[in-house]
């Protein structure tokens, strides 16, 4: 895969420069490889059924984790081939990854991530957002492993909309210890949401496949893909 693009021109998106100038530039990487775009397009399409939607989110998790591996350090090793000796490289820190999944939409996303980060320890948090305009967050189940200073924590939530949920989730996570790196993985984000989280965690890294232009009055991303949990698992009655 071609390298993911570090977004260096954050202020150029129409209508966002005023909001964004209030806090330092967040570290945003847009993963826009053609294979990512293909799965994202499938996920966005309202005619994609539940099974195909979950598969698309699963694949996006897999591809994003694959690209993320570029950011981990590697070490030189020497191996014996059947014909001689060769220099090689190994990823270091594979075993220092902690993935925290935000129920429920992140389930297929994280399933995909495990394909490339199989040694990750895992935390689970169920959090949901109250109604606009306050978007108060309620947290139910929360189990996060102890976090060490050399850990890389990835918070997985397919939709980074207002940022209220992820800010609260991150606050819970750091109660378990301060990681070396904190990264948010989302399929679709908004600048507004990224800014909101970055105000609390200015050193956090954001990895996303797309940044959409706006939120509706209920805090849904437009055009987005709808309610990711409902699309993956069915809407509750
Ligand atoms: N959560 C979703 O599932 N979709 C949105 O658009 C926003 C939050």
Radius of gyration from C-alpha coordinates of the chain:
18
- Is the minimum distance from the CB of 56 to ligand 1 under 6 angstroms? no
Residue 144: how many other CB atoms lie within 10 Å: 20
Ligand 1 pocket test: pick from 50, 135, 159 the residue with the most ligand atoms within 8 Å of its Cβ: 159
Residue 8 has pLDDT above 70, yes or no: no
Q: What is the mean pLDDT of residues 49-69?
A: 98
Q: What is the mean pLDDT of the chain?
A: 91
CA–centroid distance, residue 188 to ligand 1 (Å): 9
Label residue 188 by pLDDT band (50, 70, 90). very high
Arithmetic mean of pLDDT, 15-21? 42
Distance from the CA of 73 to the center of ligand 1, in angstroms? 33
**pLDDT confidence tier of residue 23, bands split at 50, 70 and 90:** low
| CB neighbours of residue 237 within 10 Å | 3
Task: Answer whether 228 contacts ligand 1 (Cβ < 6 A).
Answer: yes
Its pTM stands at 0.90
Mean pLDDT across 53-67: 98
In the chain, where the domains are located? 21-73+92-225
Ligand 1 centroid to Cα of residue 194, in Å, is: 14
Q: What is the CATH number of domain 21-73+92-225?
A: 3.40.50.2020
Residue 129 confidence (pLDDT)? 82
């Amino acid at each position: 895969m071609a390298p993911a693009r570090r977004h260096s021109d954050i202020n150029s998106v129409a209508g966002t420069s005023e909001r964004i100038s209030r806090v330092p530039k967040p570290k945003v990487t847009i993963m826009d490889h053609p294979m990512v775009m293909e799965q994202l397009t499938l996920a966005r399409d309202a005619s994609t059924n539940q099974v195909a939607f979950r598969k698309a989110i699963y694949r996006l998790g897999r591809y994003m984790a694959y690209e993320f591996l570029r950011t981990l350090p590697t070490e030189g090793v020497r191996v014996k081939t059947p014909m001689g000796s060769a220099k090689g490289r190994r990823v270091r820190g594979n075993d220092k990854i902690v993935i925290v999944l935000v129920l429920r939409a992140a389930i297929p996303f994280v399933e995909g991530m495990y394909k490339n980060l199989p040694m990750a320890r895992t935390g689970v948090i169920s959090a949901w957002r109250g109604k606009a305009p306050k978007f108060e967050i309620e947290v139910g189940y929360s189990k996060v492993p102890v976090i060490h200073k050399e850990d890389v924590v990835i918070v997985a939530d397919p939709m980074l909309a207002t940022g209220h949920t992820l800010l609260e989730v991150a606050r819970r996570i750091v109660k378990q210890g301060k990681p070396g790196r904190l990264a948010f993985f989302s399929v679709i984000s908004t600048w507004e949401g990224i800014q909101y989280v970055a105000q609390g965690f200015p050193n956090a890294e954001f990895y996303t496949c797309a940044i959409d232009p706006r939120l509706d009055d209920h805090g849904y991303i437009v055009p987005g893909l709808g309610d990711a949990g409902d699309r993956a698992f069915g809407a509750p009655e």
